[in-house]
Structure 1
Amino acid sequence: MPHDCSLPTMSAGVYPFDARGIAKRFRHAAIFGALDALEPGETMRFCNDHDPIPLLRQLAEFFGPRLQMAYVRREPGEIVIDFLVVG
């Protein structure tokens, strides 16, 4: 069953971010801003239609060990990644 990012997240401290509805020219700025707004221990559940490998490298460089990334779903046309702010 496909993941539906439009559904409310049940876990406290997990916030959905559906990049598919954001204009391409604003996506990276919106993602960086959303992650920067998270407190330690909070997670952004990121949904996209493609695997954002260049973005993941940029995030790793910018946030370093403060940000942990884990794929929740990694299938063609459906990518879900949890970004956890650790400190």
Structure 2
Amino acid sequence: MTTAETATKPFIDVRTIPPVERHPKIFGMLNALAEGGSFIIVNDHDPRPLHYQLESRYPGEFTWEYLENGPDVWRVQIGRQQASGCDCCCGSSSGH
């Protein structure tokens, strides 16, 4: 991904948010994402605990890509997966 592409993405700089409000704000943004949409979080430490929480709550629904990996700033792009379009494993009666 180019710098121009990441510059136009929505982002949240959690360094400016009180710690108790960070995850609720991030999960609010996640819940509002359309399929295929993404945003970037900026933090002063590796947000790995958030990644674990995300995978626990929404397994396989979101992507996680480190764009910058410290030591002073971490930037992670989080995206909502697009539906595969296959309804064969989701209760379809099409007979496959």
TM-score tier, shorter chain, comes to: 0.7 to 0.9
CA deviation profile, 1:33-68 (whole Å, cap 9, x unmatched): 111111011111110000021111001111211100
Say what the alpha-carbon RMSD is for the aligned residues. Answer: 1.7
Give the aligned partner of residue 57 of structure 2. 62
Q: What is the aligned-residue identity percentage?
A: 29
Work out the CA distance in 2 between the residues paired with 1:74 and 1:63.
23
Letter in 1 for 2:54: L
Letter in 2 for 1:43: S
Shift in Å at residue 25 of structure 1?
0.8
Give the aligned partner of residue 28 of structure 2. 33
Give the aligned partner of residue 19 of structure 2. 24
Aligned length: 78
Work out the CA distance in 2 between the residues paired with 1:48 and 1:80.
7
Letter in 2 for 1:50: H
Shift in Å at residue 76 of structure 1?
1.1
Matches within 5 A, 1:35-54: 35-54=30-49
Q: What TM-score comes out, normalization by structure 1 length?
A: 0.81
Q: Which runs of 5+ in 2 are unaligned?
A: 83-96
Give the aligned partner of residue 7 of structure 2. 9
Say whether residues 1:71 and 2:55 are aligned partners: no
Work out the CA distance in 1 between the residues paired with 2:26 and 2:66.
16
Q: What TM-score comes out, normalization by structure 2 length?
A: 0.74
Asked which structure has the greater CA Rg, the reply is 2
Work out the CA distance in 1 between the residues paired with 2:37 and 2:21.
23
